[in-house]
Structure 1
């Protein structure tokens, strides 16, 4: 199996390191030439978070996406077991990236998307309508250090499944490849579940992210600190209730209490700095438009109001402006 890991962030490096250790042929595609050069020379520095855990280096091939100037030439028969794992932020899925994804695709390629928020699948389907698209939701914990290091901060699960978006290609002959992909993931130590209800899985993650991520960014707090103050907790619940009503009206069905799920995530990831807070602190563009902005667009589509999500988008976007000014 050939795997192109598009994205050299924490999740990309985590999956690349463990898949390569399991024997898969992994290429890590990065945004910068410097990261690609160091990854190729030194590999990925991988370690578990537990105190005293032994770290190790994992050799991978790495290339910079900007250096890809034309479609990759296929030698002989196309590789029927080729997966592209898209592990970049929503804001990085632009025309340039979509063009290069098209150059990576060959007959039989499947793309697994690990993004937060909503809207990316439609964008991909519009450019690559004949490629089988899969959505993934992972609860694996990972933290990047330096350009090539990753710390596995907690075991989780990967739920993934095929998606048909805007008339995109269905994966009618994908059962063999799906089974091989599951075996490859499991041999790499991941708990992977093929799901036929990825829409609900995506909305569950969107619900949690829409409450925790923007409020930690606005208050400059870790996940665990967020619900400690009663006033913050009331705002959390109000944002949760609005988002839950919108997503439930558009098909979300949760097996457990959603509010307790949100509080549980805050507790189990208590020391975590959310990705949105990390972006605000670093002066980077956040994913607010694809998380709370995505909730607002869903609300508009189905005829509901979303005043809190609208306001949250405005506030976090202003933080981005201030950090970048």
Structure 2
């Protein structure tokens, strides 16, 4: 396999040259939507979703038949600061659970007909503690981005990226703080359930990490290198590869959206092929969605990660596309539209 990029600057160039939606197909999909046997706008946001999906797939009457869910796992050196309620060993234990089909994401993937893959990234080599040094070198970041890039099935017609990594809400909060400003407390939540003292520690660590690397962070990829994790970087690479292949993406929760934000804060409009699957119970997720200008498809109080909220939203997008492509037009049904 030819390596798509070898440096961050090469990756930036790929992002800058990424394809856009097919406007002619989008117009055809809009015209079809206007002829379907329903009052105008009666299916609400489902209509917009179907037209958006059609534009990216280049098919005015598309189908969703091959969704892919990829869960990436990585370990974080910042856990040495006491930011999580669980030890780092849980990451590897959960990877085994994914591989054996025992996690929530396995059930949701199966329920909505998605192929599911699990990719563990150097679990025995955590990233550096970002309060002491950049989380990754450029070479390490490029390797993680490539892992995500190569994990995307070119035959997929929809992508969900999920994650597992003890300490990764701390990493996501630090990235959000670096990219969007505010106070560390604005972006730091309880993650897996830290108590008040743990939350205070976590908030301090987020502020400390962002302050240490502020001068080095010029764009989203710099933030990812300094404050991210391998699984976040892999999600970033996978989302970028999906754009390259014109595969629409459903974003998951706070951690996934932080990873995605690294693309948007490197090249504007880099997430036009993405929708937000849900808004999670992690306190800062609504703020992050607002910053990305993404409205969630569902709101069910989820805070599991793994790609679970986005996988659930596959059903919403499938429903939108099924109605758009499968409904009869007024002419086909012999129904008067006047």
Tell me which of the two structures has the higher relative contact order, counting C-alpha pairs closer than 8 angstroms and 6 or more residues apart.
2
TM over 0.5: no
TM-score computed with the length of structure 2 as normaliser? 0.28
TM-score computed with the length of structure 1 as normaliser? 0.29
- Between structures 1 and 2, the one with greater helix share: 2
- Between structures 1 and 2, the one with greater strand share: 1
